[in-house]
Structure 1
């Protein structure tokens, strides 16, 4: 019961925590298992939260084994469909436990489940694709040894692109690549050769779906922030953004105020004026709570890749209690307290107002990137 409840709550929270989530093919969110999602890993647990919340079928995923050491935590994580995977850095004595992990992965697939694996192994908050580990290939190849899974199980490459790893109200692009199946594995290859071949295929697909900054983070952030301005279909979005990336100088992108939203003209002026009052109310109601949670998370995650994930998780768990507390206080001290019931909506309005202001501040910097029409579009 825990997983469905958290999934529903997380879907609602994502509508505020993320301003926009764009999929190259949204129909794949309805995909049935057996299926392996082979994903890049730029943003710690939030990568799993995002996909697990938005896929219709429950998603099982591999997580760091050291998180499972406390019995109570282990029960909670297991109820959330997490499977521990152990690394050498966590101690040689734990590596033997990976045998049961691989067995559990095969069970999930045999039962028609969806398994999420982060093919890079480690997480880094950066716009680049790391060399792939062997784990995804091994799990897929072992599954394809079974006749039932050889026919039905596929590996779906997933590239996740964030405009920020720390901002509230982020924009995300999720790109699904071409599926990899048992038919793509030449029968004449040895196991080690198949692993190399699999990783080459997967790397090629992930590279098509992941924007890389090459040291110019501001440019990639600006492109992702404004991706809805691209005059192209969602399935060609990453390719079009890469074309735009090649045309724009980093100096042009640095002129934009983070998160790099491009001006929208009269609509933004109207939004900045009309939404000012409700946005101000939403800001006053939420800023003390948000800053308190943020300060706590910064202290606990300083210098790690877990900031975004812990912030989202803590807001998800504590906001309902904060909302109840303010409504109870309003009932006691305010005559017209009913507006407090709409606090989440006011938070959403505040984020929309901030977007309008950001676009007005930026002016029309490098608008030609999104409105030019190269021949490939």
Structure 2
């Protein structure tokens, strides 16, 4: 029964993601080992959506390490545990909490011994900027724990690049790219130099799988330069090549502009078809979102849950007023029009 519940939740979320995003590109799935322990190491820009996208576009069924503070709510804790999520504690959670990581890492080692897979974010925080931040040592401790368990099969690290166009805006597109697996079974990282070497290997891989604007001082102007040239942020190798080729003359005199939203016919129709949901979102949900990185996650979860409830309510009501077939046709038409607005790109930010 638990497995059935997980599968229903899995496909509900996956279908929801494909209705929410205009495009989801997935590349490099063939790089995922099928019958060996795997650590998926991903860049982290977009809060819970980073996890959901990898979870639903993966040939494995990974466990997940995520920030411990989201487990404070007892109801969310049960839900996250059901989804195979585990808390990882950071210094901001209090020094006394850090000791709990030892048990978490030990459990991760046991999972890998059983040829399971684990997803974690070695940057140890999230940020919307299109750059790979310095990696923490946490994942090397998990590798260490696993290798001390005398693994039967090789242990692989699979770097994962997640790319978004403009994640705080609706509608957005995203891409997930799995890099070549790194066999760490015989890696000599038990010295400080070895740890640094492994971190550098993973960091270098991530910088090829996602857009990496290294210069923080020029970040905004470089990003604006790329947007003006309408680069495809879902193709990081192409974007990174352009970043490397940017010269001083290209940036001189460039004015930073905010993305233009406008309120064209597409957005007008979106409001017309979904007025109660959008008004509630704007007035009551948005003001309570704690960080910009959570906007996309809150919006997706809100849309997924309340759109589903609204369609069920509409079907029940219209079945009483008309009949089941008419109610179904009405709902499918409404859903189809919404899907067209998302997929056609007529409400994308320009």
The two structures have a TM-score, normalised by structure 2, of 0.82
Q: 1:292: which partner in 2?
A: 280
Cα distance between partner residues in 2 of 1:114 and 1:223: 39
Deviations 1:80-102 (A, max 9, x none): 11001111211223222112111
Q: 2:337: which partner in 1?
A: 346
Does the 8 Å contact 2:44/2:123 carry over to 1? yes
1:249-328 aligned at under 5 Å gives the runs: 249=250, 258=260, 284-328=272-316
Cα distance between partner residues in 1 of 2:33 and 2:57: 9
1:167-178 aligned at under 5 Å gives the runs: 167-178=169-180
Q: Cα offset for 1:132?
A: 0.4
Gaps of 5+ in 1: 229-236, 260-271, 363-377
Question: What secondary structure is seen at the aligned counterpart in 2 of 1:124?
Answer: coil
Alignment length (residue pairs): 333
1:109 is the counterpart of 2:109: no
Question: What secondary structure is seen at the aligned counterpart in 2 of 1:170?
Answer: coil
Q: CA RMSD in A?
A: 3.3
Gaps of 5+ in 2: 214-218
Q: 1:66: which partner in 2?
A: 69
Cα distance between partner residues in 2 of 1:181 and 1:29: 12
Q: 2:184: which partner in 1?
A: 182
C-alpha spacing 1:222/1:84, structure 2 compared with 1 (3 Å) = farther
Q: 1:265: which partner in 2?
A: none
196-205 or 302-311: which moved more? 302-311
Question: What secondary structure is seen at the aligned counterpart in 2 of 1:42?
Answer: coil
Q: Cα offset for 1:32?
A: 4.6
Which residue, out of 143, 147, 159, partners 2:150?
A: 147
Does the 8 Å contact 2:45/2:126 carry over to 1? yes
1:36 is the counterpart of 2:42: no
Q: 2:195: which partner in 1?
A: 195
C-alpha spacing 1:246/1:193, structure 2 compared with 1 (3 Å) = closer
Question: What secondary structure is seen at the aligned counterpart in 2 of 1:161?
Answer: strand
Q: 1:269: which partner in 2?
A: none
Q: Cα offset for 1:324?
A: 1.5
The two structures have a TM-score, normalised by structure 1, of 0.77
Cα distance between partner residues in 1 of 2:43 and 2:57: 17
Which residue, out of 17, 24, 41, partners 1:14?
A: 17
C-alpha spacing 1:12/1:76, structure 2 compared with 1 (3 Å) = same
Does the 8 Å contact 1:30/1:55 carry over to 2? no
Q: Cα offset for 1:206?
A: 0.9
Cα distance between partner residues in 2 of 1:350 and 1:356: 6
Cα distance between partner residues in 2 of 1:357 and 1:297: 21
C-alpha spacing 1:6/1:325, structure 2 compared with 1 (3 Å) = same
Cα distance between partner residues in 1 of 2:200 and 2:22: 34
Question: What secondary structure is seen at the aligned counterpart in 1 of 2:174?
Answer: strand
Q: Cα offset for 1:111?
A: 2.2
C-alpha spacing 1:116/1:25, structure 2 compared with 1 (3 Å) = same
C-alpha spacing 1:174/1:219, structure 2 compared with 1 (3 Å) = farther
210-219 or 342-351: which moved more? 210-219
Q: Which has the higher helix share?
A: 1
Deviations 1:198-219 (A, max 9, x none): 1011111111112134323334
